[in-house]
Structure 1
Amino acid sequence: MILRYLIFFAQLWALCLANVNMFISKEEMNRTFGVKAELNYIEMGNVSSYSTKFHYRVMANIDYLSFTWNAVGIVHYEVYVESDDSSVLPIVRIPLKGTVPESLQDFTVEYRCAGHRSGQFAVSLYFTFKYGNKEPLKVKLRQEKICASRDGRRGLNGGYEGHEVDDTDSIDKAFFVIICIAAAFLLIVAATLICYFKRSKKEDMIPTRLPTSFRNSLKSTKSAQPFLLSTPRDGPPTLSAISSAPCSSSSASGNSIIPSKPRNIDVRRALLQLYQDRDAFQSLPLDMEGTFGEVRYAIWRQVDDVLNGDVDDEEDTFCNQEAVYTKTLKNNASPIQLDRFLSDALLFYNITPHQNLSQVACVASFGRFDRPETVTDFPLVCYRHQGFGNLKKFLTICRHGDKTKGAQTLRTHQLVSLATQVSSAVAHIHKYRIVHNDIAARNCLIAEVNGRLQVQLCDSALSRDLFPADYHCLGDNENRPLKWMSPEAIANELYSSAADVWSLGVLLWELMSLGGSPHAEIDPEEVYTMILKGKRLQQPNNCPDQLYEVMLCCWRVLSEDRPSSEQVVHGLRDFNIQLSQYI
């Protein structure tokens, strides 16, 4: 009898504590929307007003969408789905009634287009969750399915609806497969013969006067001078350069150093030109947060005057959705912080775009900047970005190997490519006589574009708030990134393009150390003294000698002895080309 009571009270307690979670995973968001961020609908029974208002767009080449859910305790559900047009048939791939699983599981919603009309069609997914004596939790999720006009749509099983396969089709397919196999076989044979002759030719090109052991090492590593593979005792093979560094003393002489000057940007004019209505932005969960500011991904729904198809719904005037990376201030920020935030964010305003430079795409507000009395919120500064977000955060995740957060194994040639890209962005702003003053991994964004990593240099807005450990004060209430700064900038506040090159060298070190903290063992107050004594950051593991030499060139004490950013770019590009030939 006592056991029955205990079981009853345990079940009652479980019902009282019951809750549900439901979200779209980061991997699914990346697959279907191109944004590497998680979209939470329900978290421990709390419904996200941001996410449930968002109309999730399912593109024409996407046939299904996966949701992830689980329950704490016993949670019953009911679900049904409806489409506003018969051109789309949505199918939920779970029972319409049941119990939410206690472990994280995925379920899918399939979207089948009839193929008669092209356009954008609304689909709604309704959930009702029941647990304990609580009021049922009702949630509505909105999707927009894009359909293209064609005879059939591919389903989850890989087949096409509305098309019957007869014997003639089977014979034609079999014949086509045989032809493809034969052609592939001929291509493989031809490629093998070409590789064989090229390899023989390369071996013949090795000078016969070299020692036999050296000739064998060249053959075994498939490389030639100036790089040899060496294996250190405490790590995997690295590339060691036996040639001189790409920036020598002679190449650095005669540089034209650009002094740092305020850009004197007309902030009001810039805000008027960049203005967008805040209602057009659907914020996603937080990516980073500081004391006074925050960073989020968001979806920018842009009005397109040219409608595809014959859809009459008023909401369908929003035809383009674009992922953006946003920065804004919290309500506790002061007017002084707002002025600093906007001046930092507009550093690259109105200069020629560059693929490795992240510039402000727009600034959003609920009010209008031409009528200041209507503006009651802090501006939302937006950057076009579909990727991993902050470079420093990404490198740290990769160093720790956390696969659940998107960690990747970064190869040497990838890191050298990133170094070349960000150096190119620095050289670009220097052409416009703009000095950054805070070049670091924390002020870069990284994404994957066409299968390759792409880095973009960004402004320093909110960096002091988001990364307070990277900034230190020397008694004047001005936080500075001392461990990234050149000696003349620390001692005399002399900022210039040469000081940027010093910081660029530290950023290259951050890349090769996967987000390591520079001079972590040195107190900020001692950095200047240690630099004058010849202290430099140590060569990271697996960092090629030639790339480390570039860093050392950037860290010369006298600013006139450092290479220009353009010289760093040329050196890294040459090095990257050579590196790609031997990896």
Structure 2
Amino acid sequence: MRCWLLLVVIMATLRQVEPSLDLYVDSQDVKQLLGVSSQLWYVHNGTVNKYALGYVVVVPPQVNSLTFCWQALHGKTMPYSLDVHIGNHEALSKPVYNISDRGLVPTRPAAWTLRLACTGKLTTQVDVTITLQVPMNTSLADITTLAILRKKICLRDSEVEAGGVSVEMVEARHSTTVVYITLACLALFLVVVVVLAIVNHINSNKTTGRRTGSSQRSTSGNQSSVAVRQDVPNNQRGNIDIGGIGKTSHSSLSEMRRSPQPTNTTTATTTTTTGSPEPQYTDPRQSDISAKLTGLSVSRDCVQLLEVDQEGTFGRVYHALYHSTDQPHPVTVTVKTVTDASSEVQRSVVVSEGLMLAGLSHEHLLAVLGAVVAPPESPPCIIFPASSQGNLKRFLQGCHTLVTREVVSVGVQVLQALAFLHSRLLLHKDVATRNCVVDEGLQVRLTDCALARDLYPADYHCLGDNENRPIKWLALESLAHKVFTPASDVWSWGVLLWEVMTLGQQPYAEIDPFEMSAVLRQGVRLAQPINCPDELFKAMTFCWTTAPRERPTVEELIIYLTNFQQHLDRYV
């Protein structure tokens, strides 16, 4: 009995002296990085937040230092080891921090700072990994490794230090460089003028020959006609004609004549050359939330949260039960919400984005069943019908094999949802597999984009404007000028189809987000996936045409893919 009591006393004593840690980023620094006033906890009372550690925080160009707060709890100090690794030494100088590489975590709240100074040589994002090793239990030999991830944005020639070179020498070198650049530009201009003159002379001599042979070439068989155009991916533009099917249904996308589309999303009314006003498309996120909540607001008691399906730094997606007054029994639903520590801004964004499709009814759009928004200080809950297979991107990444017929079916279903939105003069602006759900029989529905930035942080990037955007899904005009039209939704749909064909791979994975705009202007596009039919890939590339007016409309794509599907069913 005495031995048992002694063992209990020893265990209690060990629990009292067990090391514990707090590690977090203060709300003021989080607001500077993410635009929200909320503490970002990595370790709280000794509990590690693996979701926060997995979230890559982007550090804007104007932020050159990171501050972390920490404390060893219960008055018990603990040793630590700190290491900082950067992915590009040419763009980012060696990090400097104001604590030693090894030491003891203080027993009182304290802060330490890491300085990240760009060299000014490159414009890029640099991966920064901050590794902190601490013992999180009674055994000092059992070490816990905390890896904090950052992406530092560096700009070329931004606050570059002279590094021992005098100001006079720098100015002299700059003046000499300007002279050489001016002479080089003048020489290059003269060469271009000469080349253009030669090309114009050759083309004028060949024009007659081309015209006389055009009728013979047009009847030379079923080969696709290819015309070189600079505004088409890979400088290739051809008729997509599948074995001569559907001639009366626009089987060739290049033969479809599209009506002009608007070039902006403002509320002003524009007029076409024919005098008829162009339709003005709006962003459903910017509509009146209070009007959408009419008839959707339900009591918090109607929702019973079950297990967590997805979790990010601030957002959560639950499996839940919904006790509706219209149903005698509770139904299984999906609920999007945020944590108790979320800020007012985060809660507002979840409501506005979660209700963007509220009031719309279509078989390929995910409906909104209800919303819990009271009391205002509590996390809001947006209620959706449950889907048997969950998120489409996660479904694709689960090693599920799709045949071409299934890929086409998914693409057509999303197009039908977009056609419905565009008929209501609404734009989605974030068409991607992460914003779709899937049910049995590969039935797909397009959803809102609430929590997408938090749940899929690798799909969104900030280019220094403190706005996370789906950079690698955006059309060139949307990326460069923030212009959105139905044609930009078509571009994103083309990337979605590529995702489906590659089973959820990351588009443009090898390209830096900062370089996307320049790369797209150069004509670079996604490569043809393995086992992707040429006809299907050509449909994708048409969606990525530089000029918005040259892209097919949603209706034209539906017709083309429907004909392609019929062709597959006939011969496969």
Please, what TM-score do these two structures have when normalized by structure 2?
0.52
One of 238, 249, 258 as aligned partner of 1:253: 258
Rate the CA distance shift 1:334–1:539 in 2: closer, same or farther, 3 A.
Answer: same
Q: What's the secondary structure of 2:398's corresponding residue?
A: helix
One of 279, 287, 299 as aligned partner of 2:321: 299
1:362 maps onto 2:370 in alignment: yes
Residues 296 and 371 of structure 2 are in contact (CA less than 8 Å); yes or no, is this contact kept in structure 1?
A: yes
1:540 maps onto 2:529 in alignment: yes
Rate the CA distance shift 1:273–1:302 in 2: closer, same or farther, 3 A.
Answer: closer
Partner of 2:435: 443
* Residues 144-178 of structure 1, C-alpha deviations (whole Å, 9 max, x = no match): xxxxxxxxxxxxxxxxxxxxxxxxxxxxxxxxxxx
Q: What's the secondary structure of 1:297's corresponding residue?
A: strand
Q: Which has the higher strand share?
A: 1
Residues 283 and 427 of structure 2 are in contact (CA less than 8 Å); yes or no, is this contact kept in structure 1?
A: no
One of 413, 417, 430 as aligned partner of 2:409: 417
* Residues 318-369 of structure 1, C-alpha deviations (whole Å, 9 max, x = no match): 7223221110011222111222222112222223x1111112111135x4xx
Residues 97-496 of structure 1: matches in 2 within 5 Å?
246=251, 248-257=253-262, 259-260=264-265, 261-263=282-284, 264-303=286-325, 319-351=328-360, 353-364=361-372, 367=374, 374-398=375-399, 408-448=400-440, 452-496=441-485
Aligned partners of 1:426, 1:355: CA distance in 2, in Å?
12
Aligned partners of 1:258, 1:359: CA distance in 2, in Å?
29
- Post-superposition offset of 1:258: 7.4
- Post-superposition offset of 1:247: 5.1
Rate the CA distance shift 1:291–1:321 in 2: closer, same or farther, 3 A.
Answer: same
One of 514, 520, 532 as aligned partner of 1:531: 520
Partner of 1:561: 550
- Post-superposition offset of 1:387: 1.2
Residues 259 and 435 of structure 1 are in contact (CA less than 8 Å); yes or no, is this contact kept in structure 2?
A: no
Aligned partners of 1:292, 1:391: CA distance in 2, in Å?
22
Q: What's the secondary structure of 2:469's corresponding residue?
A: coil
- Post-superposition offset of 1:243: 5.8
Partner of 2:488: 499
Aligned partners of 2:305, 2:263: CA distance in 1, in Å?
39
Q: What's the secondary structure of 1:446's corresponding residue?
A: strand
Residues 410 and 442 of structure 2 are in contact (CA less than 8 Å); yes or no, is this contact kept in structure 1?
A: yes
Aligned partners of 2:306, 2:257: CA distance in 1, in Å?
46
- Post-superposition offset of 1:284: 2.3
Aligned partners of 2:379, 2:423: CA distance in 1, in Å?
32
* Residues 415-442 of structure 1, C-alpha deviations (whole Å, 9 max, x = no match): 2111110111111101111111111000
- Post-superposition offset of 1:259: 4.2
Task: Give me the identity figure in percent.
Answer: 39
Q: What's the secondary structure of 2:295's corresponding residue?
A: helix
Aligned partners of 1:462, 1:396: CA distance in 2, in Å?
19
Q: Which moved more, 1:569-578 or 1:260-269?
A: 260-269
Letter of the 1:395 partner, please give it.
L
Q: What's the secondary structure of 1:288's corresponding residue?
A: strand
Aligned partners of 2:562, 2:401: CA distance in 1, in Å?
22
Aligned partners of 1:338, 1:479: CA distance in 2, in Å?
17
Letter of the 1:535 partner, please give it.
V
Rate the CA distance shift 1:471–1:247 in 2: closer, same or farther, 3 A.
Answer: farther
Residues 413 and 576 of structure 1 are in contact (CA less than 8 Å); yes or no, is this contact kept in structure 2?
A: yes
Aligned partners of 1:390, 1:524: CA distance in 2, in Å?
25
Q: Which moved more, 1:375-384 or 1:420-429?
A: 375-384
Aligned partners of 2:408, 2:369: CA distance in 1, in Å?
28
Letter of the 1:382 partner, please give it.
I
Aligned residues: 315
Q: Which moved more, 1:279-288 or 1:494-503?
A: 279-288
Letter of the 1:249 partner, please give it.
S
Residues 359 and 383 of structure 1 are in contact (CA less than 8 Å); yes or no, is this contact kept in structure 2?
A: yes
Partner of 2:566: 577
Rate the CA distance shift 1:472–1:252 in 2: closer, same or farther, 3 A.
Answer: farther
Residues 439 and 507 of structure 1 are in contact (CA less than 8 Å); yes or no, is this contact kept in structure 2?
A: yes
Residues 355 and 456 of structure 1 are in contact (CA less than 8 Å); yes or no, is this contact kept in structure 2?
A: yes
- Post-superposition offset of 1:497: 0.9
Aligned partners of 1:273, 1:561: CA distance in 2, in Å?
42
Letter of the 2:311 partner, please give it.
E
Letter of the 2:543 partner, please give it.
C
Partner of 1:57: none
Residues 80-99 of structure 1: matches in 2 within 5 Å?
none
Please, what TM-score do these two structures have when normalized by structure 1?
0.51
- Post-superposition offset of 1:302: 2.8
Cα-Cα RMSD: 2.5
Rate the CA distance shift 1:543–1:339 in 2: closer, same or farther, 3 A.
Answer: same
* Residues 51-85 of structure 1, C-alpha deviations (whole Å, 9 max, x = no match): xxxxxxxxxxxxxxxxxxxxxxxxxxxxxxxxxxx
Aligned partners of 2:264, 2:425: CA distance in 1, in Å?
8
Q: What's the secondary structure of 1:409's corresponding residue?
A: coil
Letter of the 1:358 partner, please give it.
L
Q: What's the secondary structure of 1:338's corresponding residue?
A: helix
Partner of 1:71: none
Q: What's the secondary structure of 2:305's corresponding residue?
A: strand
Aligned partners of 1:246, 1:540: CA distance in 2, in Å?
22
Partner of 2:22: none
Aligned partners of 1:272, 1:432: CA distance in 2, in Å?
20
Letter of the 1:538 partner, please give it.
A
Q: What's the secondary structure of 1:275's corresponding residue?
A: coil
Residues 473 and 479 of structure 1 are in contact (CA less than 8 Å); yes or no, is this contact kept in structure 2?
A: yes
- Post-superposition offset of 1:278: 2.3
Aligned partners of 1:532, 1:284: CA distance in 2, in Å?
48
- Post-superposition offset of 1:274: 0.3
- Post-superposition offset of 1:255: 4.2
* Residues 297-323 of structure 1, C-alpha deviations (whole Å, 9 max, x = no match): 21223345xxxxxxxxxxxxx722322
Aligned partners of 1:527, 1:520: CA distance in 2, in Å?
11
Aligned partners of 2:333, 2:454: CA distance in 1, in Å?
21
Q: What's the secondary structure of 2:461's corresponding residue?
A: coil
Letter of the 2:255 partner, please give it.
S
* Residues 178-207 of structure 1, C-alpha deviations (whole Å, 9 max, x = no match): xxxxxxxxxxxxxxxxxxxxxxxxxxxxxx
Structure 2: give runs of 5+ residues left out of the alignment: 1-6, 8-221, 224-240, 266-281
Residues 288 and 295 of structure 1 are in contact (CA less than 8 Å); yes or no, is this contact kept in structure 2?
A: yes
